[in-house]
Every structure is written in C-alpha cells, then in structure tokens.
Amino acid sequence: MRSYSVTTASTIQIISTAEAKVHLKVDTTVEDSYIDDLIAAATDSAQEYTNRFFMATKLKQVADTWNGISELFKSQVSSVTTISYYDSDGVLTEWVDTNYLIDMSSMPARVTLVPDGTLPDIQDRVNAVIVDYTVGVTTAAEVPQAIKQAILLMIGNYYANRSEVVVGSQVNEMPLSAQYLLNQYRVQVIR
C-alpha cells in the first residue's frame, strides 16, 4: 500500500483574477471573490485530471514496502528532501542519498538503487518507508500555456453554467477542449 499527503500547498495562483476576468469579459469587481473560487476549482480539477501539482507543493509519500516508492506521485518532481524508513528495530532512519538515484526526468519520477546497491531491511509495518519531496514549478510563468488555457476554459464553463442542470444544453464536468489541452500533460500512475 502507498499513499501521499500534501505537507505544504502552494499559495500561488496560476491564473490571476484579472486574467480570468478578461477571459470572462467581466469588468466589475462585484464577482471577484466568486471568480477566485472558480479559479481554485478549475485549477484543482486540472491538477487532479493530470495527476500533477503545477506549482511548487511539498508532499510526503508513504509505503509499506520499498516497492511502494519506486514511483513518486504527482509529477513533476523538482527535488527529494529525504527518504526515511523504519529499520528492523523500529527506529526511523534516514536513507543516505548515496544509496539511491532519483530519475526526476521521468513522469512519474522513479527511485532506484545505485548500481550494485542493496535495500536496507525495514520493519514489517504500515508506512515503513517515507519520502519527502517537492513537485511543480516556482512561478506561474513556468506553467505551460496550454494548461493555463485549459483552466480558463473550465472557468468560463463554470461561470456560464452556475447550476448543475441547464435546460436545453449539455453540461459536462470538464469541457472537451480543456481535456484535449490537458491530455498531453497527463501522467499515468499505477496505484
């Protein structure tokens, strides 16, 4: 079993309120708070759809075995802070980084042994292995334009279709054009 949790979420918006308002053709400030909520919802949906966090986010991935950290969730990994494990005596121990390699260019990122390396013995327990790492980029300017456009399309869809049912039209969870733009950034993760 393996899972992850967010230890530090990014506070940087990929799309500013002003950018969203231009896209929506809104020139008043009356709905700014609502538009900010739409930006957050669309960004969350795009991140979930692509299996990524776009902006720098710190994560903790835990696994019951070493195999559970062979791939790291929510690419693209920008750095690995530590890999720790509970040794056979139940003591939390940091794994020295000269014993493993991180392939951060792969998506999902991979953790492998150095050539001729061996894995330390771990205690038979839940969450025996822990990886602290960071994914995403540090500035909104580094996020690909296609991702930003997909988020704007979702914001426009949410803004125009404020209720779940719209008589006379079909409302999809995510516009197909947004899916098309995001598909090229989607990371396939085997759980």
Note whether residue 81 is domain-resident: yes
Q: Are residues 18 and 46 in the same domain?
A: yes
Q: Are residues 119 and 155 in the same domain?
A: no
Q: Are residues 128 and 108 in the same domain?
A: yes
Q: Are residues 73 and 125 in the same domain?
A: yes
* Summary mean pLDDT of the chain: 92
Tell me the pLDDT tens digit for each residue of 105-131. 888 999 999 999 999 999 999 999 999
- pLDDT for position 163: 72
Note whether residue 4 is domain-resident: no
- The average pLDDT across 157-161 equals 93
Q: Are residues 70 and 127 in the same domain?
A: yes
- The average pLDDT across 177-182 equals 96
- pLDDT for position 188: 81
Residue with the bigger pLDDT between 163 and 31: it is: 31
Note whether residue 77 is domain-resident: yes
- The average pLDDT across 159-184 equals 78
Q: How many structural domains are present in the chain? A: 2
Q: Are residues 20 and 88 in the same domain?
A: no
State percent of the chain over pLDDT 90: 85
Q: Are residues 43 and 73 in the same domain?
A: no
Residue 161: which CATH number? 1.10.3230.30
Residue with the bigger pLDDT between 191 and 46: it is: 46
Q: Are residues 28 and 93 in the same domain?
A: no
Q: Are residues 110 and 126 in the same domain?
A: yes
- The average pLDDT across 20-32 equals 96
What is the pTM (predicted TM-score) of this model?
0.86
Cβ count near 15 (within 10 Å): 24
pLDDT at 172 over 70: no
Domain limits for position 104: 57-135
Residue with the bigger pLDDT between 40 and 189: it is: 40
Q: Are residues 86 and 117 in the same domain?
A: yes
- pLDDT for position 14: 96
Note whether residue 111 is domain-resident: yes
Q: Are residues 118 and 178 in the same domain?
A: no
CA–CA separation, 160 and 178 (whole Å)? 15
pLDDT at 166 over 80: no
